[in-house]
Every structure is written in structure tokens, then in C-alpha cells.
A and B are shown apart, each in its own frame.
Chain A
Amino acid sequence: MERMTGTDFSEWLRGRSDERLRALVAARPELVTPVPAHIDGLAARACSPSAIGRALDRLDRFSLSVLETLALRPGPADRGTVLSLLRRAVPADRDDKALGSALDAALDVLTTRALVYGPDDALLPAPGVADALEPPAALGPPVAEVFRHHPPERLDVLLRDIDPAYEGDGRAGGERPDGGRPAGERLAALLADSATVARLVGEVSPQARAALDELVWGPASGRLPNARREVDAASAQSPIEQLLARGLLGATGEETVALPREVALVLRDGRVHRDLSPGPPALEGPVRDQHLADRTAAGQAFTFVRTVEELCEVWSVDPPGVLRAGGLAVRDLRRTAQLLDLPEWAAGLVVEVAHAAGLVAAGEGEWLPTGGYDGWRIKATEDRWAVLADAWAAMERAPGLIGERDDRDRPLNALHPDLRRPGAAQTRARTLAVLESAPPGLAPTPESVLARLAWEQPRRRPALRDRLVRFALREAEHIGVTGLGVPATHGRAVARGDGTAAGLLAPLLPEPVDHVLLQADLTAVAPGPLTTDLGRRLALTADVESKGGATVYRFSEQSVRRALDAGHSADDLLAVLERHSATPVPQPLRYLVTDVARRHGRIRVGTASAYIRCDDPALLDEVLADKRAHLLRLRRLAPTVLASKTSRAALVDSLRAMGYAPVAESLEGDVVVARADARRTEGQLAARATANTAPDPEVLAAAVRAMRAGDSRRRPVEAPEGQVPRSPATATISALQEAIRQGSRVWIGYLDSQGHATSRILEPARMEGGYLTAYDETRATVHRFALHRITGIAEIGR
């Protein structure tokens, strides 16, 4: 098989336009990290197995099939040849035109990515591609490979059985068949010949033919005990032995046999693939009313936001501990699930999303809401949801695995570092992208989503992909990205990541109301989310009994007392209720409020940090009368007791200074140190997964420029002698901006990290955040330069 050498590929690459090279490195950014010095370097890297592997992983099934077809051709092929090869594999009812345009698109992708190269009439897979594809199209190894380790005697026996003309050559018996063509080549030529294969297949029993059919479309190998048995056509007993004796199967190991590639291709009747689809498989599933789906998803979105808020509220009062290894104990998750009235997987999701959105974090050995939670809480519901949905979409973790066990049989806990799964975010993003592409109203089945993903990236099968996709679909439903399985309008916006999700969700959410229905069973029903002020008032006066689209409040003695404690009077409360009630205030409620108010405040409680006690009231009179005591803010509670706002120690000191001889009394535990019941942590926020953003076009352009430059000179440019003239910072920046715009080179003075003055020739690409990214011709690399260390700039004379 004749192939162009690596040099040809390199030359072809060099001949591409800058634009095409930029497209190449944009599609395969790993080729320019780090930037190769020149085009040869780029070509070498593009042909490395790992780079080709990554490029192949990004191909869809059709493009991959095109590449496989090309790779299986012994030499260069033009478009027409490839098309005719492919056409056989496409079901006849498909549109031929569609196939043609799909092929053009695929060839464009393949050449752009430098997986295929050469002129249009002689296309070749790039060096290394054929090896990376092995085995292509589920074919077995070639004949030469299969029979390589067969002893010459076996080959001899085989050839004798296969080729009637063989013995006629006169090279029979123990004579080595190396006089003419080697036996292996002879065998390969025979088995690649369709007439010979047809004849051989015709000789074997129907069972043997059935076994052959099994292997034709792969997998092309099977297990067979004692595979290297000695058989010939005459002694062959079983169907498999009949095949072995004719070389239609060959032993590739002690216990494995394989169908040689050439035989399979003949049996495939010239087709490389059995059933080829030029386009992705359609999503399937029930069709529902898109509006209904939107509403259902919005209902779920509303619930999800509320659940997260509830979680944070619960945890701010009663935070669960952080396990020593990190994460949340199974027991705590179960308790949380019960509190939230959710199944455990859903509670795990809520916890993980809250964490990913930076609303809860570990601090002081406990899981606590962060300061960020307070900011999140006051936003509108739709904005809050968007924050959660985005955090979920970018989360590089698999909450669906919570509760399972890892390789070492330890439970996987929520919030534990082990829940990180590289590729989780990408799989989720791809799943969302598939959902986004679903037609309105379609609820794609998980199977059809999986089929679509398998078509889009057939080679990429991250561990657990199928499970991650199913998790993503289940989670999307729970978060309200989909409703009734149908991607909701606001959910599609999350998939697009264009920031319109909140705006689309808002009109679907319940509108705030400013009235409640008061009932004689001491409940109040708010038939929608309350306006903030009324909501706060009611939450103070009554206990929430049920949440959802509406809120049910129950008035009780405790709740009314709580409102009175907060400084409202009974008349106040009743006035608020009357004003906001759609109906008259029921008698029992009125009675309750006045009855509680009647008893409220009979016992008075105040704070005093210290007291003075003395059996002699006259002495206390004396203390109170003392001018120096004014600073102590003493107050007489009873004839023999004074209360003070100062601390005990200060009081004792002051009294001593005034000439008394006080004694400090022990607290006896009757002073409770006030502790805020709702705590916050300053702890670490969850690391947000960096989005899989494509590299900046400017950086890519710089990389291409760098390679071109390296290519044209192959040697770094020497910086001119002497010092760069110093220039003011503003002039430096404007000169750099100019250079970026024009793509020209500049000469700069730069202080390196040791403080040494250096001078460089740069081709500036981008300026951002106090740094300049530029191709450094002096060192032939792309480098980042701190702007404040650039001492001066000058145009480079040319």
C-alpha cells in the first residue's frame, strides 16, 4: 500500500491558507497548546496518536464512516469513488442528493481538521489516522496479520485446500513455499478475491455459513478452545473447523479466532458499512402541548427554587456536619430528604446544586449557607432559578451517583470530592444541546437521546456516559428545565446559555397577590406568592402550614404572641388583616388576637449585664445618688436590687473606685450567651467548573502567525542591539493596540521575573486584564507579558 509520507502532509499543510490553518487550530485547539515552533511541528503534532484520537472523538458517525472508508482504500481516492462506496451502505430509500451534500460536508470537516488531505481527486487519510482507526468499521485484522504467526506447514496445508492451482506449481510436500511469492501474500491475494471466497463459502455446510454471517458485521472475532488445531478440508468436522481449514477463519491466539478483513470485505459485498445514515437519527417520543409542558416545567422550577431556599433555611439553623473526608453523611442526607419531603436522589441533587451555585459551603466543620445565599434570596424567583440552572449545567459532578459505592466499596456521599466526574458537565451540556434541538412539544425518550449522542460522537464513550445522560434527563425534569419530558422554552435557553432563561420563565410563574383569605379555622390562605411586605407581616403573625403556588398560614397563640413581641399591637394586627383580607375577619381569629394581647406583657423581661444586690436599701440610695455612678447606667428594679448595663467586672471596679467593697456573684448559669441562630460561613465557595470555552480567535490567529513566522525563519529573530527607548505607559498601550489592529511587530523592553531588562520582538495578539498575549519572535513562543513590566516600545524598522 502506497502512502504519502509525512513530508507530503507537512507540505500540504504549509500550502493551506492562513484562514484554513486558523480553522484547523480552532477545531483542534490542543495542537497549539503549546504553540509549535513551525508548520513541521504542527504537522508532527497533528499526526501524533493522541491528537488524532482526540480529533476522531469529535467526529460524528457519518464523518467517521467516510474516514474509515478512505482509510480502507489502498490508495488515494476522489470524491466520486468515496460516494459510490458509501451509497451501497445507505438504504435505497434515502435521498441520493442528501448523501452527496452530507459527504461534501463531511469531507470539508475532515480536511479542515487535517484528518484527510491531498487534492480533491486524490484524498488520503492523514498519516497515523489509519492506525488510530484500527479496527475500522468493526472489521477483523487483515489476512497478513491473522496468519502471520502460522507455521509454514499450516500455510502450506491451507493453500493446498484453498487454491486448486497450488499443487500444480510443483511446490508440494515439505518444500518451503518461498520460491515465488511468499505464502502469506499468496493467501492474502486469494482471500481478497471475491470468486475464490464465494467458492470457498459454497463448500462449507450451512451451519458454517451461518457462523460466518455472525462475524461479518462484527465483532469479527470469537472464542474457540484450542484455536490452533490442525485441520484440513478433508478432516474438518465442525462448522468452525470447516472455516478454519479454508482460511475463512484464522486463529489469532490460543483461544481466539478472527474473520480476516479481506474475507469480510468480500462478504460485505463491497460495502464498508452495513447501514449508514447521512444525518443524525431523529429524536423520538410522545408529543405534548408545548405550552402545557412550559407551565409544568415552570411549576417544577418554582418548587425547586423554593426547595433550595428551604434547604438553606433549615441548614442555617441546624447545619449538618462536614465528614472528615469531606461531604455530607448519609444520615444527614436522609434527614434532609425527609425535611424537604423528597426522595433521597432528589435531595442529593438539591444539595449539590445549592453547593455548585455557591449557596452552601463548608465552614467551621459544618455545611452552612454562604453570604452569597442572602444575595440570592432577595432576587426574583426567575433569576434565582437561572442561577441554579446554570450552576447545574456547568457542574462537573454526578449527583446521581449519591448513595452508590465506589471501587473500594465506600459509599459515595453528597458534596464529597469523589463525586467529581470529569466529563459530567460536558455530557450534561451535550444532553441539553440535544434537548434544545428537539422540535416543540416533543418529549424525547432517553433511548433516542442516547442514540443521538452515540451518533454525534460514536467514539467518545466517557465512563458511565449512558448513566450520566439518564441522570441529566432526570435532573432536568426535577429542576424544571423540562416539563412532562418536553424541553421547556426557558429550559432551552439554559441549554443555549444565552442568559434569556429568566426572562422566559418569569411570565409563567404565579403573580404576586396582595390579599389573603381568612377563615374561621384560624387559617389564612394566600392564593399566590404574597407581596414582600405582606408576606413578611404574615410570616411573623402566623405559621406557614403549606407551601406551593399558594401559602397556607395558621394563626396560633404562639404565632400571635410572636407578632406582639415584635412590637405590633393587637389593633395593628387586626387592622393589617382587615386591610388585606378579601373577607371579614372571622370572630374566632379576632378573639384569639385580643385574648393573646390581653395576657401579653404581664411579665416583663429586660437585659442587664450585671446587678447590684444589697440588703440595705439606704446603701443603694447612696450609690444611686453618687454622681460617679451615672456612667454605670444603674436602674432600680426593687428596693434592694439595681440593674446595670455595664459588665460585672466593670461594675465591681467602679464600685471599688467609689470606695465600696463589692463582691462579685457567680452567674449560676442563668445568663445565656446570645448566639445568633442563623449563622453564615465565610468558607470556600464551590469551585465552579470552567466552561468548555473555545480558545479566543485572536489567540488562535496569533498561534498561526507564530507558526508561520517560525516556518519562514526557523530561527528566532535576534532583538536589535541596545536598549529600547523608554516610553510612557499610555503611549505603550496605544502603540500595542495599534500593533494588534495592524498585526504588525514591535520591539519592546521588558523586565523579566528576576527584574533583568530584556528586549524582545513581539507580534501582539490581545491585551486583557493587564496582560499582553503576543508571539515572541525572540523566543519563538506565544507568551503573556505583564503590561506594567514593559518598559518601552518602539516600532521595528524593516
Chain B
Amino acid sequence: MSDGPLIVQSDKTLLLEVDHPRADECRKAIAPFAELERAPEHVHTYRITPLALWNARAAGHDAEQVVDALIGFSRYPVPHALLVDVAETMARYGRLRLEKHPVHGLVLTSTDRAVLEEVLRSKKIQPLVGERYGADSVAVHPSERGNIKQTLLKLGWPAEDLAGYVDGEHHPIDLREDGWSLRPYQKEAADAFWHGGSGVVVLPCGAGKTIVGAAAMAHARATTLILVTNTVSAHQWKQELLKRTSLTEDEIGEYTGTKKEIRPVTIATYQVMTTRRQGTYRHLELFDARDWGLVVYDEVHLLPAPIFRMTADLQARRRIGLTATLVREDGREGDVFSLIGPKRYDAPWKEMENQGYIAPAECVEVRVTLSDDERLAYAMAESDERYRFCSTTPAKTRVTEALVRRHADEQVLVIGQYIDQLDELGVHLDAPVIKGETKVKERERLFQAFRDKEIRVLVVSKVANFSIDLPEAAVAIQVSGTFGSRQEEAQRLGRVLRPKADGGGARFYSVVSRDTVDQEFAAHRQRFLAEQGYAYNIIDADDVGEEDPAR
């Protein structure tokens, strides 16, 4: 009986005992082919998925290595069926290849004729391919490069894309490392992306994904299109690029609701790209406006469907996706894999925290109890009204006030879903409210004031979920959210994870109504963070005033 740190389960999960002396070695060995699913305090769970195995193949690992790692670190015998399954799954990758043929252009070729025949029989593949050249290859129209990869992945025969990339229009971009330098993991991430060609970098909120984007641009040294979630985020990207790179003000264009500039580096929002007028996407030609050498997708977990479709046409250009949580509530992780690229870099949150790159955070769930009248009303509410009803209970306002009082000398963000509730909180806390209708200028003024500590408490709606850089926020209080969204919870925690000037920790409070759907959704929302190792302490609302609840 060997005494390895790993237990291989028959459902293809791997349990890693973190306190084991060989745990680190084992983690490094299995990370390429297994997704970290949960990282609580003692036993981390990884899962071997086909996507992860193909990721590993794409990154140059073979089945032998995977099997060796499993057998070498496993405490118990590894079921043979699992090893066979791993080998078979990995063998499926690369049987089909997309290549550039000197005469025929883009072709789909195969070393295994039967596989090619099988996929060509598929009704979904037929419209994407053209003329057949011999037994082993078939023409693919360049514009279908993304679609065919997507479809092949769904058929279980992921194609290896060897067709290469266009260089795009050259444009000099350099990092200007004066007074700061690229953190090791940022460099590793950018390098991993560049060597892989295209792909996704997963880093926790506050770990400096923008800088990874900038480093990728410095690698590409070409015109770049950056897609971000909203206008404020676009401004932040611009500020950051001006600060970190050799780019100047007039080299960076903004393509938003108000401005339509196209410059060597152009930052566009998802919103403007997906605006439809008379049934057509008016702004998608931006993708063709220049000969882009690199496309950066910020918050790739939010990438809307039309952008996916456009991305399918962009397969000849290098693409980098950035995200903190590669969890899509719509389950389209497979599309991210085939259209943007495989995951090239991943760093667990707690590891970043241990290294001091993100602030340590404590998560607290505060349970409030509905009054008897409210409980009756809740019981009688229509099912689609229930969540709104219980998550906006006045009891939450009282608890929030108590929490704000307790953190009287810290910068506090109050985050919620429902505008009425936020307005009410704004009044009670005497704090400004940022919501959808707040003008961009006003938003930026308020954020700046918050950063400068002129405002201590800010009430924000979901517009501030992402990409808003508020380094000094140390406390976040969430009063309501988008039902059970795991990534929203993670992103909101991310608002307070920037390392603090005083090196202090962050607090994240989630205020939840006891015995209601709010509590159920909260449990679901917390899953991602709990799996990343953030343990929620649970306290009762009544205890908030008395002592330090997070002890």
C-alpha cells in the first residue's frame, strides 16, 4: 500500500490531501489535466473532464504522463477503467487537424480515415466543409474555422488547430516597468498564452488581469482589439495601459456608446458590440475594421452569444480571454474552449492570497429573521416574487446599518440587486447610490471620491459587479443578488480583494433571510468561493451589534 496524497475516485474526481508532504508535487503533476473543483481546507477536489484532458493534450502532455501521475501519487489502486478512459479520451484529440495547405488553403485532415468519415457524415459538419482532397483531407472555408472546431468538439473529436495565425498590423507596444514590475505569475500567464497561441487565463479578482492583457499585447506587438464589459471598465483599461505600456493617449481608441474611435488599440464594450438596430448588429464590422493582431476578451465568462458567433470568424487571429471564474451559468465552457482557446493559466485564489497578491478575506453570512407578518406574506407570495420579497426585507436594512456602524473607519461597499432597496439603503446610510441610470461621468466621479476616501460608504447595483477597480474598499456588504449566480458572488468578493495599502484583510458580508429561498440561493452562490477555500462563517443578525462577528 503506497502512501500517496491522492485518492482517485471512480467518478473521475481526484481528492488531494493538502497537508500531505507530497501534496505540492502532486498538485503540479495533476494540474495540467484536472480542473480544480473545490479547494476547502483539507482535501482539494480535482476533476478529470474530457475538456481538461484535451487541454492537456493541447499543451503537449500525453496520456502516458497522465496515467503515470495518477498511479504514482495515488494512495489506492487506480481503477483500470478510468485509466483506459483517460487514454481513450486523450487519443481523440488531434486525430483531426486543421492545417494550412499550400495549395488548397485551410483543410481538415486526419490520420485516422474512419474518424474523418464519421465526422463528415454528421449533418452539422457537412455545410462547413467543401471539396474533398483525397481520402484524408477536406477543404474548410476559412470563415468556418471556428464553427467547425466548435462542432467537432461537440461531436467529441476536437480538432488540433495548426493553421496558425495572421500577424496582423504591426504596432510597437512595450511594457514600461518603471516603479513596478510584472509579478511572476503574470509573466508566466502571458508567456503561457503566447506559446499556446490562443487561450484563456484564469486569475482571481484583483490579481491584475489587465496587466496580463498588457503583457500579452507587448508579446504580440500588433494592433489590438479589447472587449470589456462596460464603459467604466473601458476607461480603467485605458488608464492602466497608459500607465503600464509605451502606448500614448492617441494610440488608444474607445468604442463605446458615446465615442466611436478606431485606433491601433481599440477598447470596445460588449454592450455596444451587441446593440442591434433593425435586426442587425451594427457594430460588428469593428472586428474587420483593422487587421487586428490580437483580440483581448475581458471577463470571458460573460461573453455574450453574438460575440461568440463573431469570434468564430476570427480564428486566424490570436485571442486571449481573461477571467476570474471560468464558470458560465449558461454552461458554455465548451464554446470558450473551442472558440477562444484552452485554459492556458490558472491560479487558485488561496494560493494568491498566501503569496500576498490579493488581500486575505473573511466571508460572513449574516442571517436575518423575517417578522411573523413577513413570514405570512412570504408564504402567500407568488413563487416568482418570493426571492425579491425575502431579499429586500427591512430587517436587512437594519443589519446593514449595524454593519456599516461597526466598520466606521473603513471603506464600505454595499452591493444589491434591487434599486428600491438600494435607494432606501442610500437614504438610511446617507450614502450615494450608483445604479444603471447613473451617468458614466457621475459614476467615475463617485468612484474617484471613494478611492480618495472622500466618501466612506457607496451603495452600488450590479453595474459595479465587474472590473471596477476600488483598491481601498475593505468591506463589502451584499444585500441581494442575481438569484444563485456563483460567479457574481465571486466577482463581488473580488471588489475588496485588491491588496490594501495597510496590508489589512477584507470582509465580505452576505446578508440573507433565514428559512427562505434567499438562503437557498445564498448556499448556491457561495459554492464557488467555498470551493476556492473561502469558508463562510454564519452568524445571526442579533449578534452583529455585540462583538466582532468574524472573530
Contacts and interface: CB of A to CB of B under 8 A. Distances in A.
A483 B76 contact: no
B514 to A, nearest CB: 8
Contacts of A549: 7-9, 74-77
B11 A547 contact: yes
B86 to A, nearest CB: 13
Contacts of B74: 549
Contacts of B538: 587-588, 591-592, 595
Contacts of A550: 7, 9, 15, 76
B7 A292 contact: no
Given A521-B535, A547-B9, A549-B75, 20 more contacts: A295-B77, A295-B78, A303-B79, A341-B11, A484-B83, A510-B75, A517-B42, A528-B75, A546-B13, A546-B45, A547-B10, A548-B8, A548-B9, A548-B10, A549-B9, A549-B76, A582-B42, A583-B42, A586-B535, A587-B538
A-side binding surface: helix, strand, loop or mixed?
Answer: mixed
A564 to B, nearest CB: 16
Contacts of B535: 520-521, 586-588
Nearest to A529: B76
A33 to B, nearest CB: 43
Interface in A326-366: 341-342, 346
A295 B45 CA distance: 23
A519 interface: yes
A310 to B, nearest CB: 10
Contact of A346 (B9, B15, B81, B537): B81
A306 B9 CA distance: 12
Give the bracket for the number of chain B residues in contact with chain A: 20 to 34
Nearest to A306: B10
A546 B536 contact: no
Which of B45, B77, B515, B536 has the most CB atoms of chain A within a 10 A radius of its CB? Answer: B77
A405 B1 CA distance: 45
A450 B413 CA distance: 73
A552 interface: yes
Interface residues of A, number: 47
Contacts of A346: 81
Contacts of B410: none
A583 to B, nearest CB: 6
Nearest to A293: B80
A519 B42 contact: yes
Interface string B7-45: 111110101010000000000000000000010111101
Interface string A505-539: 00010110000011111110101100000000000
A297 interface: yes
A548 B531 contact: no
B59 interface: no
A300 interface: yes
Contacts of B83: 296, 484
Nearest to B9: A548
A674 B438 CA distance: 61
A481 B9 CA distance: 20
B218 interface: no
A677 B386 CA distance: 34
Given A527-B75, A546-B11, A548-B7, A300 B80 contact: yes
A599 B515 contact: yes
A527 B531 CA distance: 19
A599 B519 CA distance: 15
B262 interface: no
B163 interface: no
A527 B7 contact: yes
Nearest to B18: A517
Which of A306, A346, A525 has the most CB atoms of chain B within a 10 A radius of its CB? Answer: A525
A478 interface: yes
19 contacts: A295-B77, A295-B78, A300-B77, A303-B79, A341-B10, A342-B81, A346-B81, A478-B81, A480-B80, A517-B17, A525-B42, A527-B15, A528-B75, A528-B76, A546-B13, A549-B77, A550-B76, A583-B41, A588-B538
B63 to A, nearest CB: 13
Contact of B79 (A299, A527, A546, A599): A299
B91 interface: no
Contacts of B515: 599
B71 interface: yes
Contact of B38 (A303, A341, A483, A521): A521
Nearest to A528: B76
A520 B536 contact: yes
A571 B40 CA distance: 25
B530 interface: yes
A549 B8 CA distance: 7
Contacts of A297: 77, 80
Nearest to B80: A300
A303 B10 contact: yes
Given A303-B10, A587-B538, A292 B79 contact: no
A296 B9 contact: no
A302 interface: yes
A477 interface: yes
Contacts of A511: 1
A26 interface: no
B77 A525 contact: no
Contact of A300 (B41, B42, B81): B81
Nearest to B551: A587
Nearest to A296: B80
A292 B71 contact: yes
B71 A296 contact: yes
B2 to A, nearest CB: 8
A346 B76 CA distance: 22
A523 B1 contact: no
Interface string A539-557: 0000000111110100000
A550 B7 CA distance: 7
A469 interface: no
A591 B131 CA distance: 65
Contacts of B77: 295-300, 302, 483, 508, 549
Contact of B536 (A296, A478, A517, A588): A588
A96 to B, nearest CB: 44
B530 A521 contact: yes
A520 B40 contact: yes
Which of B1, B42, B71, B79 has the most CB atoms of chain A within a 10 A radius of its CB? Answer: B79
Contact of B531 (A521, A525, A595): A521
